[in-house]
Structure 1
Amino acid sequence: MAFFSILLPFLFASFAFCHFLPHLPPFLQKASAEDRRRYDKIVTSPNDTKAVINTNLQSWASSAGVANEYNNFTTARQQRAQQFQNAVTGNLTDQALQLFTNLWSIRQNDQITRLAECQQIRAALNATGWDRVLERLVPIPPPTVEGPPSPGCFPRPPHSTPFGGRRGPMPAGEGQRREGPTAQGARLSNSTDDEK
């Protein structure tokens, strides 16, 4: 029993180390750490259109030596997206089909940035009369560019930290000491200057 209690932390550490990158696509697992950073920089570029991002990713894959794996991955992803689209359009009718077709055309438009894509999808969902029902009925098509959502895509609520705390810098004037009778360090007594 003592042997296993000593061995157990090493087993978890080795398991975590060996399985550190399984969530990454196969072409990124074979890329170096520097190449993964370059990939992340390309994908998270806020000002590039999706067409420019895809072109940059093609050149990145050839320079990183993973062009074959990248092309196989993107081809398989496009086939899965087309199968998804065929399955969904075959099962939706009326307003739900119209909304999905609108979302699909937004996703397929390569002349917009990823942030504009997110904003257009949100606007399309908000434009429906009963958007909460349709949001749950209509799946959002998969993105054409792999990677995390564009910065600014999902706005943070005003109180996003536990207990309503703040993150980041405070606006000007907040957190400064106030003058007056309720300021910190003010004498809190019932006596006035006349009573002295």
Structure 2
Amino acid sequence: MTLLCDGFPAAAEATAPSYSSNGYVLWRPFLSSNGLAFLRHQVDRVLARTHASVSTEWIMNVHLLGESWLLDLAMEKHLLDAVQRFCGPDITLLQTHLFCKPQGITLDDLVAPFSGALVVLPGQHQLTLLPSEASDHIQFDRVLSSAFVDQHKSFRYGLHAGEAAVHHQWLPHASEGNTTLPYRRVIVLRYIATSVLETEAVALWRVCPG
């Protein structure tokens, strides 16, 4: 079963040129209807088995714990072709992340901004290191300075069922609160150019087809 919809390759090719200037692209469509149903089931299953001591917003790298469906998604041929447009011909899956933000944030759930839309600062990835200030946020000890954010026009977008977005690693982004859904379920796949890891002498695990 292919997890991606037939229209994805064309959509990915059409949106790719704006990535370098904006720092993000939206993939609409992305998942097939069968792929969406399958991934919803898998995420819900993992979520139900997650220990109460583990934050549902930080379920990390469970593909290393036997959840091979995450690797199946990450290694979809058309997805890899699309990622290579941004990272080059040799890429590594750096991390998988299930981000399930409880009400009160989707690859498959988001239907309106108040369900937890994402907010980005287009083009600011080109500046690399941005001005920050200390924060008492539960997850981050530093955040972008409010003065910097106020100087730049933000863009808010929501994703409907089976859609996806790609962010440059330096693109400023944030998620708004989820006020309508029991959980906002997101599958995050983080890829990196293999050459970066080789420069740092990081040991790599390679998958050979066949």
Per the normalisation by structure 2, the TM-score is 0.27
Q: TM-score by structure 1 length?
A: 0.28
Q: Which has the larger strand fraction?
A: 2
Q: Name which one, 1 or 2, has greater alpha-carbon Rg.
A: 1
Which structure shows the higher helix fraction?
A: 1
